[in-house]
A and B are shown apart, each in its own frame.
Chain A
Amino acid sequence: AQSVTQPDIHITVSEGASLELRCNYSYGATPYLFWYVQSPGQGLQLLLKYFSGDTLVQGIKGFEAEFKRSQSSFNLRKPSVHWSDAAEYFCAVGAGSGGSNYKLTFGKGTLLTVNP
């Protein structure tokens, strides 16, 4: 069975600083990988996804992530954090054949606090 580990429960950064959120996955085949962001009381918004191809993936809001198969990692990065980026971030791995029924397994999330 697949699993996702987000080692950092809570990260605090200053506005304008760079950000890296860590994600490690366990899956026997080529994974489909995702980063989602959740604001309090809201649903999840897709930041970016990796299915295949270029291992450096660009997403919305200036985020990017790099798939490193050798390290089983899919870390999320942003060069300069804005106060509006404060939220909970979830990494997820999708298992299955890529057809309609693949399921997502989520990490436990990383709460990002941004100091002014």
Chain B
Amino acid sequence: GAVVSQHPSWVICKSGTSVKIECRSLDFQATTMFWYRQFPKQSLMLMATSNEGSKATYEQGVEKDKFLINHASLTLSTLTVTSAHPEDSSFYICSAKGQGRQPQHFGDGTRLSIL
């Protein structure tokens, strides 16, 4: 149980384009979803937290107009990197959590490469 699917797993695109990453909880209702960024050989950096039907809460230093998060249902959250540039290249990981004292379950991540 507690499977989180993240898609796509790898995307390469040109500078200036927008990229959407999907995160789905397959077998549980995710009242809260989280988006992280991970640089090579480093730990995870929380970007934002989203609750279903509410606006996302962004961490300090994360541009909310650059990284658009939508949590439209209890099983789906999306991260859109708008007007992506090479410095946005990274490994993005989502996680999902059910109601109450539940752990976060992680997707397999998306490697984003901006040329």
- Give per-residue flags for A32-67: 1 if the beta carbon is below 8 A from chain B beta carbons, else 0: 101010000111111001010000000000000000
A75-103 residues with Cβ-Cβ distance < 8 A to B are: 90, 98-101, 103
For the complex formed, measure the closest distance between the CB of A99 and the CB atoms of chain B, giving whole angstroms. 7
Q: Which residue of B lies closest to A49 (CB)?
A: B103
Given A51-B101, A99-B100, A100-B31, A45–B106 Cβ distance below 8 Å? yes
* Cβ contacts under 8 Å, A106 to chain B: 43-44
Q: Which residue of B lies closest to A52 (CB)?
A: B101
Q: Which residue of B lies closest to A108 (CB)?
A: B43
Q: Is A31 an interface residue (CB 8 A)?
A: no
For the complex formed, measure the closest distance between the CB of A3 and the CB atoms of chain B, giving whole angstroms. 12
* Cβ contacts under 8 Å, B99 to chain A: 100
What separation, in Å, do the CA atoms of A90 and B41 have in the docked complex?
A: 12
Binds A, one of B14-22, B62-70, B76-84, B107-115: B107-115
* Cβ contacts under 8 Å, B34 to chain A: 103-104
* Cβ contacts under 8 Å, A100 to chain B: 31-32, 51, 97, 99-100
What separation, in Å, do the CA atoms of A7 and B58 have in the docked complex?
A: 29
Contact of A90 among B4, B44, B97, B105 (CB under 8 A): B44
A-B contact list, 5 entries, CB within 8 Å: A42-B108, A43-B93, A43-B108, A44-B93, A103-B49
Q: A43-B6, A104-B46 are in contact. List 11 more A-B contacts (CB 8 A).
A: A34-B103, A42-B108, A43-B106, A46-B104, A49-B103, A51-B101, A90-B43, A100-B99, A101-B49, A108-B43, A109-B43
